[in-house]
Amino acid sequence: MAVTSGPAHAGPPPAVRCGDTVTSDLSLSADLHCNGPGLAVKAGDVVLDLNGHSITGSGTGTGISVIEQPRIHVRNGRISNFDRGVLFVGSIDSELVDLSLTDNTGHNVQTAEKSTNFKITDCKVRRGGVEIDTTSGLTVTNSEFSQAGIQFNLTSRSPHISGSTFVDSPIGYWTNTNNGSLTGNTLIRSGVSLREADNLTVSGNTFKQGHVRVLNGSSNTTITGNRFSDGDRAVFVQQALSSANLRIVRNRFTGNQVGVDASDVFVGVENGITISGNTFTDNAVAGILLDSPTAHSPYWVRIERNVLKANGRRSGGRVDSAGRPINDGIHVNVPANSPVEITGNITRGNADYGIEAVPGSVTDGGGNVSHGDPSGCLGVVCT
């Protein structure tokens, strides 16, 4: 019997009701409207097919709960208006497929207590967050999120998100959320933030009015092959205490306020930033901004082989911490003999300087080129 709702009796199984326990494969034949919990799956290897139907709550309870059961597959329907839409605790190899999860006031989806290999595929998640706690091997594929961010907490390992769309839906990697990837997604007015999260690769995404923010304790972050447009600070380092090895390579930054803002690099003690092979075009204030009045050697920054065109033309009078206007391709304000190397960059038609650095503050690695920048370069030699 797939559904248990009371004492056993002869004859056909009863119709599914809110609050029932599911112990074998089940396909719904009608919508469910619940004043409390929806369904609880209490056996492994179960397919729960909503069959195009809805399970709707009244703002309390959980739509579908799975506690320490493996290989549970929930698919093809809508879950809405509960406190939690779907809860998986200690489950392995389970998945949500082709579901609409909407307006669940606590969380649309929540996992906890060492769930493993959890998948969200072809789902639409709206107006309610996704919280992933102590979960290894989350995979999100071909899904849509609107006002429904994802928060990774408490040692959630190896989360992989690909081919999905995020609108007004931030993604947060917190507290040992390590070895993740964010690949081939579209993020609109949606940011990615890292705190105490290592080995994250952000690659091949399109950010529109979005950003990547690196906070403290996040090491070995690679941001590569993305397109950032129309944002504020597209990539920025903010109080990155004890972070290390941030690589920003081969991205395109167009029409942002600032493409890469690493102004907290020395104040926050980020040990090692490489900004290499990127293209910065028409960013209003600057392509690359490094404004750190305090240095903590031997932490280093390398700015190399970037192309910077037509940046700084709408800077709005912005100035750095020393009062100098910021309206350049690369603008660097750091103390003397800081561990910043500027090498092999090409600048063209920026509003003021192609490269502006306080003389004596950076290492000139050579090979920098300026074309049509009114003030040429300062602090490094440009041909």
pLDDT score for 7: 41
pLDDT score for 14: 59
How many whole angstroms separate alpha carbon 238 and alpha carbon 202? 18
Q: Are strands 21-22 and 3-4 parallel, antiparallel or unpaired?
A: antiparallel
Q: Which of 35-44, 71-80, 240-249, 347-356 has the lowest mean pLDDT?
A: 240-249
How confident is the model over 112-127, as pLDDT tens digits? 888 889 999 999 999 9
How confident is the model over 136-187, as pLDDT tens digits? 889 999 999 999 999 998 777 889 999 999 999 999 998 788 899 999 999 9
**φ, ψ for residue 120, nearest 5 deg:** -125, 115
Higher pLDDT, 39 or 296: 39
pLDDT score for 104: 97
Residue 23 has pLDDT above 80, yes or no: yes
Give pairs for 368-377: CB < 8 Å, separation 24+. 368/342, 368/343, 368/344, 369/345, 371/346, 371/347, 372/348, 373/328, 373/329, 373/347, 373/348, 373/349, 377/347, 377/353
pLDDT score for 133: 87
pLDDT score for 9: 40
Q: Region 56-60: what's the mean pLDDT? A: 96
pLDDT score for 275: 96
Residue 326 region by backbone torsions, left for phi larger than 0, else alpha for psi between -120 and 50, else beta: beta
How many whole angstroms separate alpha carbon 171 and alpha carbon 190? 8
One-letter amino acid for residue 32 of the chain: L
pLDDT score for 293: 78
Answer yes or no: are the C-beta atoms of 286 and 306 closer than 8 Å. Answer: no
**Given pLDDT bands bounded at 50, 70 and 90, which one contains residue 206?**
very high
- Which residues lie closer than 8 Å to 312 by C-beta, 6 or more apart? 283, 284, 285, 286, 287, 326, 327, 328, 329, 331, 350, 351, 352
DSSP element (H, E) containing 220:
strand 219-224
Residue 10 burial (CB count, 10 A): 4
Residue 57 has pLDDT above 60, yes or no: yes
Question: How many secondary structure helices (H) and strands (E) does the chain include?
Answer: 0, 47
pLDDT score for 10: 42
How many whole angstroms separate alpha carbon 326 and alpha carbon 55? 55
- Tell me what the pLDDT averaged over the chain comes to: 92
pLDDT score for 243: 79
Q: Which of 4-13, 72-81, 235-244, 329-338 has the lowest mean pLDDT?
A: 4-13
**φ, ψ for residue 205, nearest 5 deg:** -95, 160
- Cross-strand bridge partners of residue 332: 290, 357
Residue 17 has pLDDT above 80, yes or no: yes
Answer yes or no: are the C-beta atoms of 158 and 165 closer than 8 Å. Answer: no
pLDDT score for 229: 98
Residue 278 has pLDDT above 60, yes or no: yes
